[in-house]
Amino acid sequence: MKKGDTNSNSYILIYASVIVVVVAFLLAFTNIVLRPRQNRNIELDTKRQILAALNITDVKDVEAVYNRYVKLDMLLQLDGTLVVNSGGFSSNYTTEFSKKRFHIFQCDVNGQTKYVFPLNGVGLWGPIWGYVALNDDRNTVYGAYFSHQSETPGLGAEIASPQFQSEFKRLKVMKDGKVGLSVVKYGKVVDKKYEVDGISGGTITSKGVDAMLKKCLSNYIVFFTNQ
């Protein structure tokens, strides 16, 4: 090809079109081929997170351990009745949330019933999420797990650290008919029954966790109070 040819308008148009089609095909192909594997990974990761809220970590065979501990995947409806979630993991939290139905995972850990509740909220840079496990009194925290997409490493990202998460153990959720479980500014804990120290330097993320706990858990108040 002669030099200069590459600068004619028609060449540029054809070149751009071809590139776009090739790239679109490549991306679509990769996406379709890898999608089942990715969904499987996401599902396993969700199960791993639920187990983490039950203080079961470093699991090798997530699927088997999950089936051993988690007995029921239920949906809480607005009137307080529970239905079994038949959609499995294909029905994600936001879809059910928009229908005003809220997930509860009923688990059996060494003969004791625990309930796990999914949480989601926003941190400083992006979404944060987590799970809280309660004892069968539906009030005492058994374990908590938090994760995030893009909080600052070393600061906000510390919400994903076991040290932070273990502070929630044995705290109470309900206080005077409202969700009392909260994260406060570092060093400002007043009521040790309900409050956890935030992360020094990660104030906005800590506030995000606090807001997430209040927002998501208050959907379950009818479940907590109605025993």
- With binding defined as CB under 8 A, does residue 21 bind another protein? no
Nearer to another protein, 20 or 78 (CB): 20
Nearer to another protein, 147 or 219 (CB): 147
Nearer to another protein, 141 or 209 (CB): 209
List of E strands, the chain: 70-77, 82-84, 101-109, 112-122, 127-134, 141-148, 174-175, 178-179, 182-184, 195-197
Site string for another protein, 32-51 (x = CB under 8 A): --x--xx--xx-xx------
Torsional sign, CA 79, 176, 173, 183: positive
What is the footprint of another protein within residues 102-121 (CB under 8 A)? none
- With binding defined as CB under 8 A, does residue 78 bind another protein? no
What is the footprint of another protein within residues 133-192 (CB under 8 A)? 149-150, 152-155
Q: Which residues pair with 105 in a beta bridge?
A: 73, 116
Which residues does 55 contact at the CB level (< 8 Å), separation at least 6? 133, 142, 143
> What amino acid is encoded at 62 in this protein?
V
What CA–CA distance (Å, rounded) separates 182 from 198? 9
Q: Which residues bind another protein (CB under 8 A)?
A: 1, 6-7, 11-12, 15-16, 19-20, 23, 26-27, 30-31, 34, 37-38, 41-42, 44-45, 125-126, 149-150, 152-155, 200-201
